[in-house]
Amino acid sequence: MIQVIPLGGVGEIGKNMWCVRSPEGIIVLDCGFAFPTEEMYGVDLVLPDYKYLVENADLVRGVFISHGHEDHIGGLPYFLKRVPVPVYATPLTIGLIQGKLQEHNVKVPLHCMNARDRVTVGDMDIEFIQVCHSIADAVAIAVHTPTGTVLYTGDFKFDPTPIDNRPTDYFKLTELGEKGLLLLMSDSTNVTKKGFTPSEAAVAPALDAAFAQAPGRLIITTFASNIHRVQQILNAAARHGRKVALMGRSMLKVTQIAHDLGYLKYDDDLILDVDKVEQMPPEQVVMLATGSQGEPMAALSRLATMEYKGVSVTAGDTVLISAIPIPGNERSVGRIINSLVDKGANVLYESVQQGTHVSGHGSEEELKAMIAMTRPKFFIPMHGESRHLAKHAALARSMGVPEDNIAVCQNGDVVELDGETIKIVDRVPGGPVLVDGNVLWDVGQTLLKDRQRLARDGVATTVVTVDGNLDVLQGPDIVTRGFIDSADSQLILDEGKRRVVEVIDAAKARGTKDPEKLKGQIVETLSRYFGERTRRRPVQLVVIHQIKAEVETPG
């Protein structure tokens, strides 16, 4: 009997993390993060809740990584601080993980594995299988257990013409099906898209067109981790006689790691130092920058706001966004496009010029082919929002997987397989954990709610000084921030002050002299009043200074 437990990555895009538990231990598949939504004020990252693994740390044998995207490796430094176990990954992925762990001063054994390598951990035998994705060295992970084999696809597509000439290992996937696959856990991201996802090589014509048509400088933004896309951009630059300036911390870091490991190939003289961009003829320059998701601190945003080392976007520049927004980032990307257009740049993106981007995830026909090749007895859709999971489950049914053999999960569900049945038998913590600076805290905490209220309704601070008999000596004064700013705001605040005095007088008449109770009554009164007048309820801060009368002593 085995259990599989999603701690992140189902019902959402991002923070992928799964556990496989056998009688002799637990292995972890991926450990990523997600970016915060706009209402998560001040939050830097969103992690899976791995409390279950911390509580069972003595059983955790290792972490196996499918590829080097942040939604699959970004949570590692935080997790490994709590559960320091070995990590197994392919060479490029190991290179990306090393830098990340060094930044956080985390030291654990890192084991480099290639496709078709196998390693035994307890009673589980783990095998890496080559797949195509939008980053090099991506693998599916087969976990051979005493109960049967579990296949975790990671992110994949079936690319017939991969840039690195390393196609998906169809033989191994078919072999798993012929030997009898117990469970398939498959990527659902593009299940709603018909047909096949185009090859990465299909982007080349659009890149060439952009290079040929740009009259001046060309600025291209894409995911730094998309090594195949970066390679195509470097190749196009060399063909068109342009030097490439790499901009953005992650672009510099990932490009250097990939180059050192042989995954990126280019002549050193192709790369241009950023400080020399302004000295070059515009038609001989291409800037390759981070910021395809509209991130405010990424290179493209800083170029648009003239905050990048003296280099900025100007009229006559051509900007190519070789990516599409991750769900939730559409508004951020729209803002950066508008900002670039306002500065006179010609902005090219997928809805304006087709072919500037292709997905790294398989579409409907590829997902059907995965099921057909592996012929799983049981099926779990993963890596997708609820609508994707439901669609993928229906697709599996259409491919002959019985209804009772399909489990659509939520984060934290404990799915048990005994070889004959699949069922959800329990739940463990599966909610998001927020990273705020260097602090981790649960999403349900009051702090986030307070930030949301502050952003929505502002804050009102009431200060009053009273003596021991609750006679008002000074104030009350009401100061607001982000609440009201209109012609009649003073009238509203004056009425609020009058009501504070009424509350104090009423408390004095009842003989109530407890300042804490009085604060609560003032908060309640002002919240009700402000709500009636403005339909907003600002966060209330009440300060009561109570001065006790001095007692004269006989001289």
Q: Please give the Cα distance from 16 to 29 (Å, whole number).
A: 8
The continuous run of DSSP H or E covering 425 comes out as: strand 422-427
CA distances to 376, 395, 465, 476, 515 from 545, rounded to whole Å, are 71, 67, 5, 11, 9
Say if residue 476 is preceded by a cis peptide, omega within 30 of 0.
yes
Tokens standing for residue 194 = 């018909």
DSSP H or E stretch at residue 547: strand 539-547
Measured CA to CA in angstroms, residue 144 lies from 56, 185, 340, 526 at distances of 21, 14, 51, 64
d(CA 134, CA 324): 13
User: 372 in helix, strand or coil?
Assistant: helix
Q: Is 402 exposed, middle or buried (0-12, 13-18, 19+ CB in 10 A)?
A: exposed
Residue 418 phi/psi, 5-degree rounding, is -110, 10
Whether 361 sits among the annotated catalytic residues: the reply is: yes
What's the length of the chain? 555
240 is catalytic: no
Both tokens of residue 450? 């307070």
Cα gap 133→155, rounded to integer Å: 6
Catalytic residue among 30, 155, 159, 187: 187
Q: Which residues, 6+ apart, have CB-to-CB distance to 286 below 8 Å?
A: 211, 217, 218, 219, 220, 233, 237, 242, 243, 244, 245
Residues 6+ apart with CB under 8 A from 405: 377, 378, 379, 422
Which residues are within 8 A (CB) of 543 and not within 5 positions of it... i.e. 6 or more apart? 461, 462, 463, 464
CA distance 345 to 306: 14
Please return the burial class of 350, using the count of CB atoms within 10 Å of its CB with bins 0-12, 13-18 and 19+: middle
Concatenate the DSSP letters of all residues of 462-482 into one string: EEEEEETT--EEEEEEEEEES
Taking each helix axis from N to C terminus, what angle separates 386-398 and 364-374, rounded to the nearest 10 degrees? Answer: 50
Give the active site residue among 72, 133, 357, 361. Answer: 361
Write out the two tokens for 504: 């104090």
Based on its alpha-carbon atoms, the radius of gyration of the chain, rounded to whole angstroms, reads 29
Alpha-carbon distances, residue 452 vs 38, 282, 458, 539 (angstroms):
10, 45, 9, 10
Instruction: Answer yes or no: are the C-beta atoms of 216 and 315 closer than 8 Å.
Output: no
Q: What is the DSSP string of 291-317?
A: -TT--TTSHHHHHHTT-BTTB---TT-
**Residue 325 three-state SS:** coil
Query: Which residues are the active-site residues?
Result: 187, 361
